[in-house]
Structure 1
Amino acid sequence: MSTTREVIALQFGNYSNYIGTHWWNIQESSFSYNPEDAPSEINHDVLYREGVNLNKQVTYTPRLLLVDLDGSLKHLPREGELYGNSVKRATDDSAGDPLKKIKEDLEDLSTDVEIVQQPQADKHDFQKDLENPVVDIQEQNYNLADNVETWTDYLYARYHPRTVNIINEYKYDTEKQTFDTFSSGVQLWKTEQFEYDFCDKIRQYVEECDYMQGTQVLFDCFNGYTGLATECMEYLNDEYSKAIFAIPVYSPRNTLFENADEPMTDSIRVVNSALAFHKLSEQASLFVPLGTCDRVWRQLGAARPLSALNYKADNLYQTSAILAGYLDTITLRYRLRNAPSAYSLAGFCGDLTNYGRKLASAAFAMPFPMQHDMDLIDCLDKFEGPLFTSLTPNCNIGTDYIIQSLCVRGIARERLKQPLEKAKEQMRMAAYKCDSVSEMFQLYLQCANHASMSHVASVSMAIPTRIPFPNEIFTDEMTKLGFLSTTARRLAEEKVVSVPALAAVQSSSELGDTLETLHREAKRVKIAKLHRFRAAGLEEDDYRDALEQLLLFKDNYEDNFEL
């Protein structure tokens, strides 16, 4: 009998799909196809499903539904590339050119029908090479940071036919945002495409599961996807009553909304965020905002500095890879093989949401700053400052009175400490008694964080960073395996193949300040002057009520609670 506890993944929005594409690529980079290898620590069946396509080929695809605008797919068929016509074209040359066949049929008829052929979208060189078995993509330089136009350009994973869902009412545009308001998203959910078709696709995934844990919802939190995603969460709660882990994300690029200047764009983003956070406090089991900017409410702030990384602040391809690395690491807790029942999605969310604190913050270290010739015990003993960097905008790292869940990966047990006969000074440290990576981190956090509770999971597998992951963001002080070196420098042609990392989710009083600043900015907005919200059905009284509820939610983060 299967003991896999499945999770359904949902992605709403273009930047979310940038992140999701990297995330599914990372997961598939960690697949092992050698039957002699030991079983992976990660149970990929949690997020993947096995199927059979029309050619009787076995497929293994993400249990995923994604949503984007018309024009965002480029070459990718809406039904994916493993099923249907795209497979037939690749495997059956006898089918011929369908356009030529239509022309031949029309020649025999007396008709004035004009045939207009829509030009096919150009494929990125990376996608062309994926179809060429002779080319080793790991030996190529695609310069993806400068020429990616949308997330399908670097998609390595292959999707199920029901995965891709396109909104035809709005067109994708790199220069402006057309799907603008929370209220527009709420209206869109009530259409047949979502209220019936999309919900039916969710139902099909649910019926395929044996022990569904819940859903993971990744969505753009600055435009119309806020309303669409939160309405979907309300449906999930009504129908299935399972855990919902929501990840609202913020793009580092301030693309203006249609018919709006920069101040109005900022105001729309603030209103969308306030309405989304209010709804998330009701519908999500846990929500963790993500972004590489330090501020996002009004005017985007500076890029977060990450040790040994050099990335372009507004590059969607590079920044989304960092957030995907975080997502892949922090979700390991409920994706491990033979994990105890506490390592479930519901347990993960429940541990962090005491006293109604459903909002938590993200923190990340990629790479984990450890020298290539150093043991973990010495690394932690000499460490100064915070272990990681905040990836939640408008929020600082908590240090005291916090509840946190961490996952550390890529540090082998052999790197823990020296054996007894070589231990020398290490034997005097209290941490020398620790026998595992997670135990040593637990001890460190007990000393570093006053009156706090920490859960630590550890996985020996590092984050795989093979192409199409942006290898150019790693500085030359990193070795091929992602550790740091103060003596030797990695050669330019030598790529980093994996990176150790540390990811954390924190519940702390710092989030009270996050909510207070959002409420303050949202209250400053004169909603009556933003006619697009009223046109989409938002009443002033509803907006005021949402802000009042947001302020009440903020009270959960006062310091007068005991852990």
Structure 2
Amino acid sequence: MREIVTLQVGGFANFIGSHFWNFQDELLGLADDAYGDPIYRSPSLDMDVLYRSGETQQGNLTYTPRLISIGFQGSLGSLSPSGSSSNEIPSSDPSDIITWVGGVSKRVSEPHKKNLFLQSLCEEQTTDNASASYGSKSGDESLIIEDKELTESLENDVNFWTDFSKVHYHHRTFYELHGSWGTVQEFDNYGIGKQLFSGSLQAEEISDRLRFFVEECDHIQGIQCIVDDSGGFSGVAADLLEHVADEYPNKPVLLYSARGPYSKATSKRESVKRALHDAVSLSMLSSFCRLMVPIGLPSLSSSQVSAFLRVDDSKPFHCSAVYAASMHSISLPFRMDPLGPASNSSGHVSGAVDIAELAHMLSGQTWQNRVAILDAAMPAPALNGYGTGRGSFQRSLHPLTPETAADVEDPQAVESLVVHGALSSGGQRASISEATSSICSGYDEGGSTRPRFFHISVALCPLPIPLPFPSIFGPLVDRHGGMVGGGGNQQRRRGALEVSSIPMAARLRSTAAVLPFVQRRSDDFRRLGVQRGSAGARLLSEWGLAMDEAEDVGEALSKMATALNPHPDLSSDSD
């Protein structure tokens, strides 16, 4: 087995991770359901890649994500740092300290209240402690709270990423950064995160937890990392990943640099600070991973990805669900059985690949391009049912990576496409061979958009929609992710009670189409950070970047842009 350890660093990263692990928990529950759809009981997807088996001190068996989650103090809501959902106030009494003879005052904050969804989990755990999947849509008549009330509660009462998590976690999973209360102080740039974390005991504490998960693996294939790149957590992640690179030099890191819903800068200083943060973060984070995938559109609701979705950009609960679904799809080949009859076109999966192979495929031997584009189709269209002509299925995928160019002719482009739960044009589930043949035909017909190399992974299992999934599907999406006729209220949202699963397609691309993303950060850093008299030179110094370090950042960004630019003679040095 080739295990994966997952890191989630920052608030929005944990929102994404919460959805990601809900998908895994739903798959586990469906696989254990003897009366459920057999499509979910495929032995070809090994969940042990992401999960670890254990045992409590009381002798109870556990099965928990191999995960470290890092966030602000107080960001766990009603979930305790030990991984249990509890509203109990700690019983420790400061008056018991015998070395202090002065007066003592005690202040205890009110615990966060559970929303209806979390209350229902506690109810289910009490009535059926052996249940392996919580909040399922099967309908438990013993529950007092109806599923419809739960979905409405989630739309209105999600303040923390733990408010919609239905997963049991290991007690070493959660780490709250000391001195980083998100509601008290600003934590909005690379420098402040670096200063808080670098050289502190916290770095060693997190490293110990990582060592625990890594060293119990038989043959770890790599580390999957999600970082909230909108503020100081990118500095925290850079320090952590530098340690990973030093201690585990042969373990590849697949890094998703995530950005939550955007807000406009309120001043010129704020605009300069954001531009420098984005440049420094890209340079530093990309240097400590094999492959970096920026995700987070300025407006997901108005993007082409949301053609059949109804996303509220102001809700991280909504936006993070789309990114998590795409990441789930990309991770499926890491869990596929590469051996035996299940790996061929007559089985349940095809196209197994591990993290190292994927990174090598997209970045090449020289690792010149470490930045890839993530595309998605949610739900994926029916095979041969999305228009006509060359590459029609491929044209249904649209970028979740911001600031990418469209219709770029890049003869060196490389793609890795994952499709699962595909439907035929008649609405029936397509076989592995049908899906593979249909998708390959889109590439084989050639044309200017044909990549130099492409890899296809296919699985029969669709994306299950768990109960704590937001109501973001439009009225044209039917129960199994197919398209139905129009009419009615086009703004109406459908959720888990009406959509049980959907076909998904996600793609990683190594292409010059990511050049605008890199070039803008390179230009901004040169103009605002290192040019004589630049507005941000003092800011970089406050972040702890000496002049020579700032020049290294600028040079690294320039090299990234140069490697991506197919026409370097046409590039401009103007501001």
Hey, what does 2:381 align to over in structure 1?
369
How many residue pairs align between the two structures? 513
1:142 aligns with 2:152: yes
Say if 2:275 and 2:525, in contact at 8 Å, map to a contact too: yes
Of the three residues 440, 443, 450, the one matched with 1:442 is 440
Say if 2:416 and 2:507, in contact at 8 Å, map to a contact too: yes
Output one character per residue of 1:250-309: Cα deviation in whole Å (capped at 9) or x when no partner.
Answer: 1113287xxxx44433322221221122123422101110013269xxxxx965552211
Hey, what does 2:283 align to over in structure 1?
278
Say if 2:115 and 2:153, in contact at 8 Å, map to a contact too: no
Separation in 2, partners of 1:164, 1:251: 21
When residues 104 and 519 of structure 1 are mapped into structure 2, their CA distance, relative to the original with a 3 A threshold, is: closer
Within a 5 Å distance, the mapping from 1:23-34 to structure 2 comes to 23-31=20-28, 32-34=31-33
When residues 515 and 111 of structure 1 are mapped into structure 2, their CA distance, relative to the original with a 3 A threshold, is: closer
When residues 477 and 114 of structure 1 are mapped into structure 2, their CA distance, relative to the original with a 3 A threshold, is: same
Hey, what does 1:248 align to over in structure 2?
257
When residues 380 and 177 of structure 1 are mapped into structure 2, their CA distance, relative to the original with a 3 A threshold, is: farther
Separation in 1, partners of 2:429, 2:334: 31
Say if 1:67 and 1:166, in contact at 8 Å, map to a contact too: yes
Separation in 1, partners of 2:93, 2:191: 44
1:10 aligns with 2:7: yes
Hey, what does 2:292 align to over in structure 1?
287
When residues 116 and 418 of structure 1 are mapped into structure 2, their CA distance, relative to the original with a 3 A threshold, is: closer
Which deviates more, 53-62 or 359-368?
53-62
Output one character per residue of 1:407-430: Cα deviation in whole Å (capped at 9) or x when no partner.
Answer: 0111158969999xxxxxxxxxxx
Say if 2:479 and 2:498, in contact at 8 Å, map to a contact too: yes
CA root-mean-square deviation = 3.4
Of the three residues 525, 530, 536, the one matched with 2:528 is 525
Of the three residues 179, 194, 197, the one matched with 1:189 is 197
Q: Could you tell me which amino acid in structure 1 is paired with residue 559 of structure 2?
A: L
When residues 546 and 302 of structure 1 are mapped into structure 2, their CA distance, relative to the original with a 3 A threshold, is: farther
1:405 aligns with 2:416: yes
Deviation at 1:363? 0.6
Please, which runs of 5 or more residues in structure 2 have no aligned partner?
A: 125-141, 344-350, 569-575
SS at match of 1:245: strand
Within a 5 Å distance, the mapping from 1:71-470 to structure 2 comes to 71-81=74-84, 99=91, 113-133=104-124, 134-135=142-143, 138-140=147-149, 141-173=151-183, 178-241=186-249, 242-254=251-263, 261-293=266-298, 303=303, 305-338=305-338, 343-354=353-364, 355=366, 356-370=368-382, 376-379=383-386, 381=388, 383=392, 386-397=395-406, 400=409, 401=411, 402-411=413-422, 435-447=433-445, 449-470=449-470
Separation in 2, partners of 1:462, 1:384: 17
Separation in 1, partners of 2:90, 2:177: 27
SS at match of 1:478: coil
**TM-score (norm. length: structure 1):** 0.82
When residues 480 and 510 of structure 1 are mapped into structure 2, their CA distance, relative to the original with a 3 A threshold, is: same
Say if 2:423 and 2:503, in contact at 8 Å, map to a contact too: no
Deviation at 1:532? 5.3
Hey, what does 1:93 align to over in structure 2?
none
Deviation at 1:535? 2.9
Say if 1:41 and 1:459, in contact at 8 Å, map to a contact too: no
Which deviates more, 450-459 or 179-188?
179-188
Within a 5 Å distance, the mapping from 1:445-524 to structure 2 comes to 445-447=443-445, 449-470=449-470, 472-486=471-485, 495-524=498-527
Separation in 1, partners of 2:416, 2:513: 16
SS at match of 1:5: coil
Separation in 2, partners of 1:6, 1:540: 41
Q: Could you tell me which amino acid in structure 1 is paired with residue 334 of structure 2?
A: Y
Q: Could you tell me which amino acid in structure 2 is paired with residue 391 of structure 1?
A: L
Deviation at 1:323? 0.5
Say if 1:8 and 1:215, in contact at 8 Å, map to a contact too: yes
Output one character per residue of 1:517-546: Cα deviation in whole Å (capped at 9) or x when no partner.
Answer: 222223332566575543331224422331
Deviation at 1:183? 2.5
Separation in 2, partners of 1:228, 1:403: 31
Separation in 1, partners of 2:456, 2:195: 42
Percent identity of equivalent pairs: 24
When residues 49 and 293 of structure 1 are mapped into structure 2, their CA distance, relative to the original with a 3 A threshold, is: same
Separation in 2, partners of 1:283, 1:104: 47
Q: Could you tell me which amino acid in structure 1 is paired with residue 436 of structure 2?
A: S
Say if 1:342 and 1:348, in contact at 8 Å, map to a contact too: no
Please, which runs of 5 or more residues in structure 1 have no aligned partner?
A: 90-96, 296-300, 371-375, 420-431
Which deviates more, 232-241 or 475-484?
232-241
When residues 519 and 469 of structure 1 are mapped into structure 2, their CA distance, relative to the original with a 3 A threshold, is: same
When residues 169 and 416 of structure 1 are mapped into structure 2, their CA distance, relative to the original with a 3 A threshold, is: same
Separation in 1, partners of 2:2, 2:220: 5
Hey, what does 1:546 align to over in structure 2?
553
Deviation at 1:144? 2.3
